[in-house]
A = this chain, B = another copy of it.
Amino acid sequence: MSESIVLTRGVPANESFAIDDLVECAESALRDYGTTILQYHPPKGFLPLRAAIAEREGVPVEQVILGNGSIQLLDLLIRTTLSPGDVVLVERPTYDRTIKALRRAGCQVHGIPVESDGLAIEALTRAMQRWRPRMLYLIPDFQNPTGATLSAAKRTAVMSLAAQYETLLVADLPYRPLRYWGQDAPALSDCGDAPLVQMSSFSKLISPGMRVGWMIAPEPMIEAMSTLVESACICPGMIPQGMVYEYLRRGLLEPALERLKALYAPRLRACLDSLERHVPGAHWVKPEGGFFLGVTLPEGITARAVREGAKAQGVTLSDGGAFFPDGDGSRFLRIPFCGVAENDIETALTHVGAVIQEMSVTGR
């Protein structure tokens, strides 16, 4: 048996890291802003990087806060904005850490099904009427874990519902710059006027180990979050913020995005082709970017059984259940394709297909 192929975590490819560029950015950041980024710092993060993000996103710098990855910022937002018992809607399935953060804060979490063009709007409408939720968390582009992108029409519908019910819409955007083909969906902020928080990070674009995330939110929320940061951890890690600022200032991000797309697009193609050829009876969203593709297995075939069968063939798959806020997920597999070479993706999915076929034949 060859070495195991691991299809569990949504990690960037090791070969994508621009070591030489990052060495230069580290040196410049330390030499040019050393006494700022080596010293204790105010909690909102390195001002030049906040300003650069504000300019890119077209918002005032006062609405931008930086953190140790965007998930830390989401945790801070939840802890400062929500109270135990508050209802929050999420996509079903969605990012597992968001479900955990909401539950740690004592929130009630309800899932709205994701279709190939994003949230099921009828189900969302009923849930908004019923719950009048405090928050709706969604990943509009190349959603984790399905790969679905919210269509333009649905974006307008979501913004309109959020405005009507005064629900804070939290849009998590880490994959949006990684579109491998097709056309960008419009930004949510161009689809209506609702209470909106946008968050993203440089984890998928430069490096996750750096832990540099950002959030755009109304100023009172930024102030509440920064008060908690100041008291709980003083300030975010400043060295990588200086490095990311240098990376942007030198114009390195745009060429890096092109390199990432050239690296990842064939992996997504391989994934889609292999599913088509080797995995009969399942269905899946056809993403045009991002890191993930979600597969729903044929009726009667559980992800658990497929995981076990694939494991015996040297393919490690993850447990889909964690992505579902209310159980379910028993037939769901998440395939993260960016950190795995094309031939390994094909090998892995050939094994997955064979396992399914075997189970269908034996009626297991």
Residues of A bordering B, CB below 8 Å: 9, 11-12, 14, 17, 19, 22-23, 26-27, 30-31, 34-41, 68-69, 71-72, 75, 97, 100-101, 104, 203, 207-211, 231-240, 243
A210 to B9, CA, bound (A): 27
Partner of A233, one of B26, B39, B72: B72
A22 to B242, CA, bound (A): 14
A119 to B83, CA, bound (A): 38
Say yes or no: A26 contacts B35, CB within 8 Å.
no
User: Which residues from chain B contact A75 at a C-beta distance below 8 Å?
Assistant: 232-233
Partner of A39, one of B14, B30, B104: B14
Return A133 CB to nearest CB of chain B, in Å. Answer: 22
Say yes or no: B23 contacts A35, CB within 8 Å.
no
* Contacts known (A211-B235, A233-B69); A30 close to B37, Cβ less than 8 A: no
Say yes or no: A30 contacts B19, CB within 8 Å.
yes
Return A184 CB to nearest CB of chain B, in Å. Answer: 27
A238's nearest neighbour on chain B, judged by CB, is B209
Say yes or no: B238 contacts A211, CB within 8 Å.
yes
Say yes or no: A40 contacts B209, CB within 8 Å.
yes
Say yes or no: B26 contacts A38, CB within 8 Å.
no
Partner of A40, one of B35, B97, B208, B240: B208
Say yes or no: B208 contacts A38, CB within 8 Å.
yes
A233's nearest neighbour on chain B, judged by CB, is B72
Say yes or no: A71 contacts B233, CB within 8 Å.
yes
Say yes or no: B9 contacts A35, CB within 8 Å.
no
Say yes or no: A236 contacts B211, CB within 8 Å.
yes
A72 to B230, CA, bound (A): 11
Say yes or no: B239 contacts A243, CB within 8 Å.
yes
Say yes or no: B11 contacts A209, CB within 8 Å.
no
* Contacts known (A68-B233, A232-B72); A22 close to B14, Cβ less than 8 A: no
A35 to B37, CA, bound (A): 23
* Contacts known (A23-B30, A38-B22); A211 close to B231, Cβ less than 8 A: no
A100's nearest neighbour on chain B, judged by CB, is B231
Return A35 CB to nearest CB of chain B, in Å. Answer: 4
Say yes or no: B17 contacts A237, CB within 8 Å.
no
Say yes or no: A237 contacts B68, CB within 8 Å.
yes
User: Which residues from chain B contact A17 at a C-beta distance below 8 Å?
Assistant: 34-35, 38-39
A231 to B39, CA, bound (A): 28
A207's nearest neighbour on chain B, judged by CB, is B38
Partner of A69, one of B69, B209, B211, B234: B234
Return A250 CB to nearest CB of chain B, in Å. Answer: 16
A240's nearest neighbour on chain B, judged by CB, is B239
Return A73 CB to nearest CB of chain B, in Å. Answer: 10
Say yes or no: B40 contacts A19, CB within 8 Å.
no
Pairs across A and B, CB under 8 Å, 10 listed: A19-B34, A38-B209, A72-B232, A72-B233, A211-B234, A211-B237, A236-B237, A237-B239, A237-B240, A239-B243
Return A96 CB to nearest CB of chain B, in Å. Answer: 8
User: Which residues from chain B contact A38 at a C-beta distance below 8 Å?
Assistant: 17, 19, 22, 207-210
A41 to B207, CA, bound (A): 11
A23 to B33, CA, bound (A): 12
A37's nearest neighbour on chain B, judged by CB, is B209
A34's nearest neighbour on chain B, judged by CB, is B19
